[in-house]
Structure 1
Amino acid sequence: MARVQLDNLRKVYPNGHVGVAGASFEVGDGELLVLVGPSGCGKTTLLRMIAGLETISSGTLRIGERVVNDVAPKDRDIAMVFQSYALYPHMSVAENLAFALKLRGMDRAAIAARVAEAARVLELDGLLQRKPGQLSGGQRQRVALGRALVRQPQVFLLDEPLSNLDAKLRAGMRVEIARLHQRLGATMVYVTHDQIEAMTLGQRIVVMKDGEVQQIDTPMALYERPANLFVATFLGSPAMNVLRGRLQREGGWTLELADGTRLPLPADAGLDAAWHGRELQVGVRPEHLLRADEGDAGAFAAFVDVVEPVGSEVYVNLRLGEQALVARLPPGDVPVPGGTLHLRASPAHLHAFDPEDGRALMRG
């Protein structure tokens, strides 16, 4: 396996559109790194630049110790798994797995050994004589992974490989990909728009927006200490609650919302006296809105709009003045829609963001 180094990699199209703006990071040898972001953020373009399917406008790309900016895709020693399975429908599973190796002129015994090993690792042993049309979606995705696996490349590139599967199959295949990575110790770059996939698979995550890298860190570091408002609201389901208002300090900190509603903030939230009168966006995740009793310090009353019990927890959709909130509560004493619920924000988990550029002023 090998590390992948990106040094100020840019992609600018002939019409002037910047697809990727100066991406710089390293994928460690044996690391599974995830590129995540909304559609059009540049994540797939960046993956295709690593693969050699998109030309690099400027910057340097290294795989191992080689600069590969102008190296043909077939000579980069990478294997790519696409969003579509791209299997040959007239070939059996075994023939699909062996096809790239035959093109390389590898001898039959070596091909048979690699196909048998990939089939064993991916539990395809009993399916080798079937055609793709006789397979389920999950089985076809495993064949697509196996076709990359038999090549034994330095780097695996995976472009939204699970997006065509239903929710149950996606969850199962996430586990299989994680197990495969642990078993092989392979260098993998994985693209997805699904933040659940990113959080559960990635050892590190690169969050992208509008062609720019927003933040790179481990999943929990991104979740707990987002660098800006975009990262904070993109990762996490339900999304972080964000309230915009003006900080007031009259016997205690409050956030005065646009409609005049005042949200009490905990006294130990880490707010500096210099912030008095400043406009801020204050974020708190649904699980950090805690039930409180009327009269408790920092407690506020919110109108209960919709209650969503999902078994192990309950999502409560609330309104505080004109501001919508979501609280994630344990099951049990479920509040009634149309009533009032008293809550307080966990002081250790408040985030403050600049209302102009969204950068984090206070993180968790």
Structure 2
Amino acid sequence: MAEVRLEHVRKVYPDGHVAVHDASFEAGDGELLVLVGPSGCGKSTLLRMIAGLETVDGGTLSIGGRVVNDVAPRDRDIAMVFQNYALYPHMTVAGNLAFGLKLRGMDKAAIAARVADAAKTLGLEDMLERRPAALSGGQRQRVALGRALVRQPQVFLLDEPLSNLDARLRAAMRVEIARLHRSLGTTMVYVTHDQVEAMTLGQRIVVLDGGRIQQIDTPMALYERPANLFVATFLGSPAMNILCGRFVGGAAPALLMDDGLRLPLPGLQAREGWDGRSLAVGVRPEHLVPAEADDDPFDATVELVEPVGSEVLVNLRAAGHDLVARMPPARMPRRGDRLSLAVARGRMHVFEPDTGARLGPDATG
């Protein structure tokens, strides 16, 4: 096991495109760290630099305390699992698991022991004589994981390993990977664009956009106190509601929009100088709630109702603004209903509209 540390790492391609700007973070010894962001944000480039498949054009990259900027991939003691399984179709499962060890000249008894251990860990014991064509997508991905597992590396690198699976298999494989990490205790760096994977797997998450790190924190800290508008809207499904307007303080603080919508902000502790200032206010769908007798409400019209079993997603229109609320099934409204809503007390996020930076206060109030 080993920590992975990046200090001011930079990647520039020959055409001048800067794929990674000044990235600094650490995956601790035994930690499962997730890199998440939209396509083109630099997350896979970062992973490939850790693996040695891309050069580091600036900064320092170390694994286990050893600087590896100029170390060949095979000498970094890492194992990588790719998005496509990259299994040898003519080999059995056992052959695929053993292939890398044979290339390293390991003796047959040691190879057989490692293959048996990996097969047992991943539930592949009854499939060792099958070829990849006879396996399901989830089984093939387990073989790909096993091929990395038999290496017994210091660090596992996983590049969107579940993106080719259907929703049910992705959920099952997330559990498999989490269980594998707990049993091995090995450092893992996991890349995904899927926020559900990031939130459920990561002990900490690095959020990236445009080649720049936006925020690093635990999943719930990111969700409850996003550092900027990008993080606020990227993490969470449905996305956070964002409304821009002019702040009015006093006994009943509110956000006033140009089209006349007044969004009450109960419990908001305003900063000095906010009165009359343009702000962007974010509210999670679960924090738009039916107004009670002592609330300061606003009205919205139901445009679409999406029942998803344990909850109902209600798409609303309020004075020209689109909003989404998350409600329990017992309160399922109908299209066209007029609802009186309120923002849960202290459950709003305030941002600077131009830069997107968080202005506070704490999201949880």
TM-score bracket relative to the smaller structure: over 0.9
1:300 maps to: 298
From the superposition, tell whether residues 342 and 58 of structure 1 become closer, same or farther in structure 2 (CA, over 3 Å).
same
Partner AA of 2:138 in structure 1: G
Post-superposition shift, 1:258? 2.3
Give the TM-score of the pair, scaled to structure 1.
0.98
1:53 maps to: 53
Post-superposition shift, 1:269? 1.4
1:358 maps to: 356
1:321 maps to: 319
The secondary structure found in structure 2 opposite 1:297 is coil
Aligned match of 1:349 in 321, 326, 347? 347
The secondary structure found in structure 1 opposite 2:346 is helix
Q: Deviations for 1:209-266, whole angstroms, at most 9, x for unmatched residues?
A: 0000000000000000000000000000000000001112466222111212211221
Q: Deviations for 1:114-137, whole angstroms, at most 9, x for unmatched residues?
A: 000000000000000000000000
Q: Matches of 2:272 and 2:15 in 1, distance apart?
A: 49
The secondary structure found in structure 1 opposite 2:130 is coil
Q: Deviations for 1:26-55, whole angstroms, at most 9, x for unmatched residues?
A: 110000000000000000000000000000
5+ unaligned residues in a row in structure 1: which ranges?
none
Post-superposition shift, 1:273? 5.2
Q: Matches of 2:249 and 2:166 in 1, distance apart?
A: 50
The secondary structure found in structure 2 opposite 1:246 is strand
Post-superposition shift, 1:84? 0.1
1:290 maps to: 289
1:246 maps to: 246
1:173 maps to: 173
1:44 maps to: 44
Identical columns (%): 70
Q: Does 1:188 align with 2:188?
A: yes
RMSD: 1.0
1:203-282 equivalence runs, <5 A:
203-249=203-249, 252-266=252-266, 268-272=267-271, 274-282=273-281
Q: Deviations for 1:60-85, whole angstroms, at most 9, x for unmatched residues?
A: 01100211000000000000000000
2:90 maps to: 90
Q: Matches of 1:224 and 1:355 in 2, distance apart?
A: 19
- Does the 8 Å contact 2:249/2:270 carry over to 1? no
Q: Matches of 1:29 and 1:273 in 2, distance apart?
A: 43
1:95-110 equivalence runs, <5 A:
95-110=95-110
Q: Deviations for 1:75-129, whole angstroms, at most 9, x for unmatched residues?
A: 0000000000000000000000000000000000000000000000000000000
Give the TM-score of the pair, scaled to structure 2.
0.98
Q: Does 1:76 align with 2:85?
A: no
2:139 maps to: 139
Partner AA of 1:187 in structure 2: T
Post-superposition shift, 1:274? 2.5
Q: Matches of 1:348 and 1:259 in 2, distance apart?
A: 25
Partner AA of 2:78 in structure 1: I
The secondary structure found in structure 2 opposite 1:162 is coil
Q: Does 1:114 align with 2:114?
A: yes
Q: Matches of 1:272 and 1:192 in 2, distance apart?
A: 37
Q: Matches of 1:57 and 1:165 in 2, distance apart?
A: 34
Q: Matches of 1:333 and 1:215 in 2, distance apart?
A: 36
Give the aligned length: 362
Partner AA of 1:265 in structure 2: L
Q: Matches of 2:219 and 2:251 in 1, distance apart?
A: 38
The secondary structure found in structure 1 opposite 2:244 is strand
- Does the 8 Å contact 2:265/2:346 carry over to 1? no
The secondary structure found in structure 2 opposite 1:247 is strand
5+ unaligned residues in a row in structure 2: which ranges?
none
Partner AA of 1:272 in structure 2: R
Partner AA of 1:183 in structure 2: S
2:333 maps to: 335
Q: Does 1:11 align with 2:11?
A: yes
Partner AA of 1:123 in structure 2: G
Q: Matches of 1:113 and 1:333 in 2, distance apart?
A: 57
1:151 maps to: 151
The secondary structure found in structure 2 opposite 1:148 is helix
Q: Matches of 1:220 and 1:249 in 2, distance apart?
A: 29
